[in-house]
Chains A and B, each alone.
Chain A
Amino acid sequence: MMQLFRSPNYNFIGRRRLAYAVSAIVLIVCLGSLAVRGLRYDIDFTGGTLVQVRFEQPPTVAAIRAGLARIQLGESIIQEFGDPHEYIIRTPLTSASSEELTKRVTAALGQESALGKFEIRRVEFVGPQVGRELQLQALYAVAFGMAGILLYVAWAFKSLKGGVAAIAAVIHDVLVCLGALSLAGREFSLPVLAALLTIIGYSVNDTIVAYDRLRENRGKFVPRGKTFAEQMNDAINQTLSRTVLTALTTFFAAGVLLFFGGKTLEDFAFVLFIGVVTGTYSTIYIAGSLIVDWTERVENRVARRKKAVAKA
């Protein structure tokens, strides 16, 4: 039988202080990038118009810009999309309606003889009101998603500590994904939001598998002579082959989407790709470690109090 690990016994939890330092550095970089470089929002959230055009001959950005300058849209964002024939033009919100804008863009590009034949493949228009609403909805979706997870974990494991630690792991993952988006200069769009929520699900799924094993072990026998940290470490080791197998297959699938899934799925897949890694890491070094430190702290306090009582 093929096996990744025979009976793994790595000291994960013991190295958590080092991991905290790593997490802190990563988070600082991510937050720093979010603060300095910021996050670019797609028109889904800012409002605006996006026109995707396919040209018969690969055009130059300058020619497209020259064409658009005729209608005072020379400041638009022009990006190659997937291959040299395909371009995306984003214009900020204007007073013109979307149909008018499309017509004007078509006419303006048509007048630029250097561009040759082209086809308008996609038009998206999001009004300012809808954009603001989507922003709010995104925030709500993430916030309520986390609240739902917190409640479920707290209830299923009868442990508020577990719920909070699981959510801390989720927040860590969301921040890392957003930071990666910011660093890579990718846009925050609706599909990216979907991916982010998927990662929230994935991360908590991973955490639950570890918690579940811990709960099962503690229920089965009273662990003699084992500290809570050791118990957590055992649970992680016992579920290690499953964790690695699942992470690898998901990572692989996200990678295929990222590199071969086409431009439309690219940002979505990018978040999954990063998220799988951080989701797996955060199970051990955020959710698992935090609950250990928290529990040990409480136990120490109880022990000290007992000692004090004994002395008196």
Chain B
Amino acid sequence: MPRHLWVRTSLVVVVLALSLWYLYPPRQNINLGLDLQGGIHLVLGVEADKYVAGQTERAAEDLKGGLERKGVAVKRVAREGLSAVVVELASPATWNDALTVAAEFGSFEVTQRDDKAGRFTLAMRERQVAQLRDDAVRQAVETIRNRVDQFGVAEPTITRQGEDRILIQLPGVQDPDRAKALIGKTALLEFRLLDEQTPVEQALAGKLPETSEILYQRRVDKETQTERKVPYVVQKRTLLTGAELTRAEVQADPNSPGNWQVAIEFTATGARIFGEITEQNVGRHLAIILDGNLYSAPRINERIPGGRAVITGQFTVEEARDLAIVLRAGALPAPVTILEERTVGPSLGADSIRQGMIAIIGSALAVLLFMMVYYRLSGLIADVALVLNLVILLACMAAFGATLTLPGIAGIALTIGMAVDTNVLIFERIREELRVGKTPRAAIEAGFHRALRTIIDTHLTVMVTAAILYNFGTGPVKGFAVSLFVGLGASLFTAYFFTRLVFDLLYMGRRKVAAVSI
């Protein structure tokens, strides 16, 4: 056998061996899409603006504190719009002191000033705003990943998509509502004091100080399943948040049998702050608030050292477990909204894979049979090439960790079509050359040679379309594009390179070829 045949044969053997190695065992190596195995696909939008606003709010608080420490009396320090802080001084005389304090806030710059009125505006720098937005999304991704990990989902996908979106795919999740609640919960835990100066009735009538707000506690009557909302007047100032938390565990609620509670433990800093709060506010009520809902507001009887607390609220064991998970994983930096959701039940996934697969395998078998009948030995070679094409295609998908979806299977079907087309092109060409009276060897040579340009042209154009599809498509369209693109690449290798090699091995080694089985 001539040397070039050896080289080509080894190449095919290496590719086949590599493919099989990547592919084996196929059940574990091929990722099935959510449409095939069931699960949840979610696209969440992070409301990064709210994070920026929150951070600005905090800066305003800090600035106010800083001004007061410096002895600058202020009329008003408040956030304005998304990322600006307005400062109104009590007297313009303290102007210079105020600006010195403001200069310490490096991420802000003074944009408007009115020396006479003693009023200026600080705006957050553009770069800082962009940075904060980015932080918000990145943190949200991290937090959600933590939560999902603790929830226990095999092979979840959690990735950032575009500027402020998060794509989440949870294969095989049985209870989608629970998973969504777990992921979407902001889980901002706050400790604030009740405003005991303002009676609830008065507050509901709209008369309440600017520093307080009304929050509700949900109470469910276990027997009638009716929900009641109890209003409380709560101070707006947050004393401590869940950020200072180290542990959260589920316990049975000793005071109300059948209900569960979550015991939390603070970090050293958190414990110190908690100690101070409880020490300074003995006799008052401390409200425990999660995402704007008040859970409980126990009376502080004495200073609580050690930084332990309990959240009660008529939880079932599942609710308590999920609450503990979100508290441990931390709060989302900003609220998220569901922009897109696709949930496929596992039974539907199984049905659609079965039906689609049967149809595709059926039509593939028919095409294989047709090729053998129409082109005889050459058709058989094309069939082997086709199977090889499938093996390489699936192996590539396994190697890249690509996901096989239903549209992906359709893409494979199309690939098969084009691979068959390639062989039909070549074989028709060889027949044509034979009709002109060429010898079998010359006809094979010319057939392959002449068809090559066409094959490359057709493959490249469709690959160009597949690449564009991949770039502009989402989800299902992407899956289709991936399998089409990879499949066409494999088709060039198998339908041309491989069949050519087999023809060469069969006919080129011999001195005389009487006929080609085509």
Interface residues of A (CB under 8 A from B): 1-3, 7, 52, 54, 97-99, 102-103, 119-127, 129-130, 134, 137, 140-141, 144-145, 148-149, 152-153, 156, 190-191, 193-195, 197-198, 200-202, 204-205, 208-209, 212-213, 216, 238-239, 241-242, 245-246, 249-250, 252-253, 256-257, 260-262, 264-265, 268
* Structural contact, B464 and A149, CB atoms closer than 8 A: yes
- Chain A residue at minimum C-beta to C-beta distance from B362: A256
* Structural contact, A98 and B345, CB atoms closer than 8 A: no
Partner of A191, one of B351, B370, B407, B518: B407
Give the distance in Å from the alpha carbon of A252 to the alpha carbon of B472 in the complex.
Answer: 30
Q: Which residues of B contact A153 (CB under 8 A)?
A: 461
Q: Which residues of A contact B518 (CB under 8 A)?
A: 1
* Structural contact, B461 and A127, CB atoms closer than 8 A: no
Partner of A253, one of B367, B460, B472, B474: B367
Partner of A130, one of B340, B343, B421, B473: B340
* Structural contact, B367 and A249, CB atoms closer than 8 A: yes
Q: Take A125-B341, A256-B362 as given contacts and tell me if A198 and B414 are in contact as well, using a CB distance cutoff of 8 Å.
A: yes
| CB within 8 Å: A-B pair count | 206
Q: Take A148-B464, A205-B421, A208-B457 as given contacts and tell me if A102 and B177 are in contact as well, using a CB distance cutoff of 8 Å.
A: yes
Give the distance in Å from the alpha carbon of A149 to the alpha carbon of B467 in the complex.
Answer: 12
> Can you give 22 contacting A-B residue pairs, CB < 8 Å?
A2-B373, A2-B374, A102-B177, A123-B176, A129-B45, A129-B339, A134-B474, A144-B468, A148-B468, A152-B460, A152-B461, A193-B477, A194-B480, A201-B461, A209-B454, A238-B432, A249-B421, A253-B364, A253-B416, A256-B359, A256-B363, A262-B351
* Structural contact, B341 and A123, CB atoms closer than 8 A: yes
Q: Which residues of A contact B407 (CB under 8 A)?
A: 190-191, 194, 268
* Structural contact, B342 and A141, CB atoms closer than 8 A: no
The yes or no answer to B352 lying at the interface (CB within 8 A) is yes
* Structural contact, A137 and B474, CB atoms closer than 8 A: yes
Give the distance in Å from the alpha carbon of A200 to the alpha carbon of B477 in the complex.
Answer: 15
The yes or no answer to B225 lying at the interface (CB within 8 A) is no
Q: Which residues of B contact A120 (CB under 8 A)?
A: 345
Q: Which residues of B contact A239 (CB under 8 A)?
A: 428
| New A-B pairs, 12, CB < 8 Å, besides A200-B465, A256-B359, A257-B363 | A99-B177, A124-B341, A124-B342, A126-B341, A130-B340, A140-B472, A190-B476, A208-B461, A239-B428, A249-B417, A249-B421, A256-B363
Q: Which residues of B contact A260 (CB under 8 A)?
A: 355, 358-359, 362
Q: Which residues of B contact A250 (CB under 8 A)?
A: 417, 421
- Chain B residue at minimum C-beta to C-beta distance from A212: B454
Query: Contact mask B407-425 → A, CB, 8 Å, 1/0?
Result: 1001101101110110011
* Structural contact, A141 and B469, CB atoms closer than 8 A: yes
* Structural contact, A194 and B176, CB atoms closer than 8 A: no
Most buried by B among A3, A7, A98, A124: A98
- Chain A residue at minimum C-beta to C-beta distance from B480: A194
* Structural contact, A246 and B373, CB atoms closer than 8 A: no
* Structural contact, A262 and B461, CB atoms closer than 8 A: no
B460-518 contacts to A (CB < 8 Å): 460-462, 464-466, 468-469, 472-477, 480, 484, 518
- Chain B residue at minimum C-beta to C-beta distance from A258: B359
The yes or no answer to B15 lying at the interface (CB within 8 A) is no
The yes or no answer to B18 lying at the interface (CB within 8 A) is no
The yes or no answer to B348 lying at the interface (CB within 8 A) is yes
Q: Which residues of B contact A242 (CB under 8 A)?
A: 421, 424-425, 428
Q: Which residues of B contact A124 (CB under 8 A)?
A: 341-343
If over half of A's interface residues share one DSSP class (helix, strand or loop), that class is named, otherwise mixed; here it is helix
A-B pairs, 9 with minimum CB distance = A262-B355, A261-B359, A256-B363, A141-B472, A201-B462, A125-B341, A121-B348, A123-B343, A127-B339
Q: Which residues of A contact B219 (CB under 8 A)?
A: none
* Structural contact, A205 and B348, CB atoms closer than 8 A: no
For the complex formed, measure the closest distance between the CB of B244 and the CB atoms of chain A, giving whole angstroms.
30
Q: Which residues of B contact A194 (CB under 8 A)?
A: 407, 410-411, 469, 473, 476-477, 480
Give the distance in Å from the alpha carbon of A225 to the alpha carbon of B277 in the complex.
Answer: 102
Q: Which residues of A contact B417 (CB under 8 A)?
A: 246, 249-250, 253
Give the distance in Å from the alpha carbon of A254 to the alpha carbon of B339 in the complex.
Answer: 34
Partner of B345, one of A119, A145, A149, A241: A119
The yes or no answer to B181 lying at the interface (CB within 8 A) is yes
- Chain B residue at minimum C-beta to C-beta distance from A238: B432
Partner of A145, one of B348, B366, B424, B465: B465
B299-350 contacts to A (CB < 8 Å): 337-345, 347-348
For the complex formed, measure the closest distance between the CB of B277 and the CB atoms of chain A, giving whole angstroms.
35
* Structural contact, A149 and B465, CB atoms closer than 8 A: yes
Q: Which residues of A contact B420 (CB under 8 A)?
A: 246, 249
For the complex formed, measure the closest distance between the CB of B453 and the CB atoms of chain A, giving whole angstroms.
6
Give the distance in Å from the alpha carbon of A212 to the alpha carbon of B414 in the complex.
Answer: 22
Q: Which residues of B contact A253 (CB under 8 A)?
A: 363-364, 367, 413, 416-417
Q: Which residues of B contact A121 (CB under 8 A)?
A: 344-345, 347-348
B348-383 contacts to A (CB < 8 Å): 348, 351-352, 355-356, 358-360, 362-364, 366-367, 370, 373-374, 376
Most buried by B among A209, A238, A242: A242
Q: Take A99-B180, A144-B472 as given contacts and tell me if A264 and B406 are in contact as well, using a CB distance cutoff of 8 Å.
A: yes
Q: Which residues of A contact B464 (CB under 8 A)?
A: 145, 148-149, 152
Q: Take A197-B465, A252-B363, A257-B360 as given contacts and tell me if A246 and B421 are in contact as well, using a CB distance cutoff of 8 Å.
A: yes
The yes or no answer to B207 lying at the interface (CB within 8 A) is no
For the complex formed, measure the closest distance between the CB of B319 and the CB atoms of chain A, giving whole angstroms.
15
The yes or no answer to B435 lying at the interface (CB within 8 A) is yes
Partner of A265, one of B345, B366, B367, B406: B406
- Chain B residue at minimum C-beta to C-beta distance from A49: B341
Q: Which residues of A contact B366 (CB under 8 A)?
A: 252, 256
* Structural contact, B338 and A99, CB atoms closer than 8 A: yes
Give the distance in Å from the alpha carbon of A12 to the alpha carbon of B367 in the complex.
Answer: 28
Q: Take A191-B476, A238-B432 as given contacts and tell me if A212 and B457 are in contact as well, using a CB distance cutoff of 8 Å.
A: yes
The yes or no answer to B214 lying at the interface (CB within 8 A) is no
Give the distance in Å from the alpha carbon of A212 to the alpha carbon of B347 in the complex.
Answer: 48
For the complex formed, measure the closest distance between the CB of B356 and the CB atoms of chain A, giving whole angstroms.
6
Q: Which residues of B contact A202 (CB under 8 A)?
A: 414, 462
- Chain B residue at minimum C-beta to C-beta distance from A215: B453
- Chain A residue at minimum C-beta to C-beta distance from B413: A253
Give the distance in Å from the alpha carbon of A124 to the alpha carbon of B338 in the complex.
Answer: 11
Q: Which residues of A contact B466 (CB under 8 A)?
A: 201
For the complex formed, measure the closest distance between the CB of A250 and the CB atoms of chain B, giving whole angstroms.
5
The yes or no answer to B59 lying at the interface (CB within 8 A) is no
Q: Take A1-B431, A141-B473 as given contacts and tell me if A125 and B421 are in contact as well, using a CB distance cutoff of 8 Å.
A: no
Give the distance in Å from the alpha carbon of A179 to the alpha carbon of B468 in the complex.
Answer: 24
- Chain A residue at minimum C-beta to C-beta distance from B464: A148
The yes or no answer to B238 lying at the interface (CB within 8 A) is no
Partner of B413, one of A119, A191, A205, A257: A257
